[in-house]
Structure 1
Amino acid sequence: MAGADGIRCMLMRGGTSKGAYFVADDVPEDPAERNDLMLRVMGSPDPTQIDGLGGAHPLTSKVAIVSRSSEPGIDVDYLFLQVVVDKPIVSDAQTCGNLLAGVGPFAIERGLIEARDGETPVRIRMLNTGDVATTRIHTPGGVVDYDGDFSIDGVPGISCAIELEIGGDSPLFPTGNVVDEIAGHRVTLIDNGMPVVLLRADEFDVSGDETPEQLESRPDLARQIEEIRLRAGALMGLGDVSAQTVPKMFLLSAPRKGGAISTRAFIPSRIHTSIGVLMAASVAAGIRIPGAVGSDLAVEAESDPTLIEHPTGAFPARVAVERRADGVWYGTSVSERTARKIFDGTVFPRPRR
């Protein structure tokens, strides 16, 4: 627990995100106490997060809490927390597929799982959503090996590939509709591991090749997107999402760099510099379904993997969708990410907010 001696913590990059990883026994069990602690650890609320571990961006202000699982057939439980940079908010309303890439290595490093010589399989329950991920971690000699020859867009250098397979048994469309209408716009509300809203970029005077900075300089655009997001959250069964970071908002346009679709993602107020793992899975599932927003813009949406273009490259999303006998659409996803241990030690939270 927190005290003068600090808390054991590992800072890791998972995919295109970075976060603080903790063993559940080392942080308060009470959600309110835990959230207060994480604000003090990350340095929120402050736009620079100068007094904590956070990196002044939603992608670097994340927390993973991991524990041995009591669920049969599951190795570890993973709780994701999004620590808002400039507000005193900690949200558990979503999961994070990027930090998920670091959960297996972290669990092995902490002795929550006994490593095998060669590869170590890990079954992970994502407590935020109830979904289960299956992965295998490279562990020659029983030690996690982060080195490799695999690269992902948005991260410099190469690392060891980590495959994540996620299968859910929840319908893809929370409203039951492939298309809904909000504020005069056709929208597709879809959740293939991450609740997202698909919109046509051209309806918002966006060409689709803008930089994140260019889009963030348009307060009128942010207001339009936020109005739709708040209404979409209620329709998707998420309740009042004004203090949440879901659903994620995607402006879709025709691909420009050989991919299937071009994306710009609001997460929700900043523009994602790339794309999250489960965000990509939801987008890739959506554009495969006839009539969904963006399906008419997509090129070779059925390809495996489906290349989802983003501001710094493309994400190879491997998804499968099926319409079952009851007419309901379901989906699964497989992705390859990388992760790296950055430091392991003790973090000293700010004494009080």
Structure 2
Amino acid sequence: MVSSSPSSSGSSLYIFTTSQIPLPIKYAHPRKPVLVVPPIVHRSLHNALDGDTPSVSYAEGELIIPHPDGLVKHDLPPSSSRSNTNPKSDSDSQPSAPSEGQINGEVDGTGLSDAASNYIIDSELTIKLHLVGEAPSSSSPSSASGEQGYISWIKESLGLLEKYKGLSKDKIDTLLIGFKGIDYRGAKTAASEMFGCGSEGLETPNTQSIPSELRQTAIRTLRQVKHQGDILGEQTKLGSLYFTLDLLKELGQGVQVNALDTPDCHHLPKEYTSYAREAGVQLWAGGGGEGSDPLPTAHLHNLLQEFSGNLSDLTDGEVKSPALGQPIGVRADGLKFQEDAEKGVEVKWVLSYTLVSKTRNVVKDKGYIIAATFI
């Protein structure tokens, strides 16, 4: 007999997106920011849970959507095998994920077929990991600052990427790590406000204030990732997401890349770009749509609320949170979700992965992994 009382507290949820085609969300939400992840998750939930045979895996308090057996998996040898390969140089043929038989073939004693060799050499993998939840506690003396908890999440996320997508740490070219609350987007210039994009000068300084504890936690976490030795691959570049100039200076030689969200009309102060150039830090600018909190908990709650009955049935009632029965509304001013609303889930981290063909500049695989805990 299944208990009618909620038993989902502490149960883990992992969602793998299976499409880059967004499906507009149905519930009311704040007008800004406009986020790219919720509509993509919405589409993936419908793909997995609609129909007569929903695709989920649930065992020992761990719910995975969709079932991992349906995910595209890149079962490639580790990068240590790459230096021994001699792939063909025909750049007109785009490599595809090799089959198990191809990988087990032999070429010059390396154990790799030409197809597998081409696929490995041609691939470039970039990971963005957004740490958005409150870091789990640790028995470490530094647990109060949270970095040990974040380290455990980093290992968890990369472990799931390898287990279910076949992309190990040795295949990661760039790993970018960000923290909720650190979100540098640049600033609009006074000239662009008046005359439009493309105007020069009169740069407005960024006045974002980052709490001291968060600053120190972010710095210590990245330093530990860099020096711990069991997180990064041998050739992996470590980077940060949305770090401000003062954070980059305090971090010192900790990262090689800093990705920034720079929408139209936003500019980086000259001292920012000058420092990055002097310190050897690459600045990656993009249009954004993710931010430091790409899938706020209220969004995930409302996305799951549509499927709360399905999730309860598919887990024999074990995942059943009364809070998921009601959506979280928006404040009267339309700017934020209601802060005092009860939530049935809490987002821990959001990982995005992009696997690109370097020779053809074609995306081979792209998606998100969301980790959360049912409350």
TM-score, normalization by structure 1: 0.23
Larger Rg: 2
Structure holding more helix per residue: 2
Query: Whose relative contact order is higher, 1 or 2, with alpha carbons under 8 Å and at least 6 apart?
Result: 2
Say which structure is richer in strand: 1
Alignment TM-score, normalising by the size of structure 2:
0.22
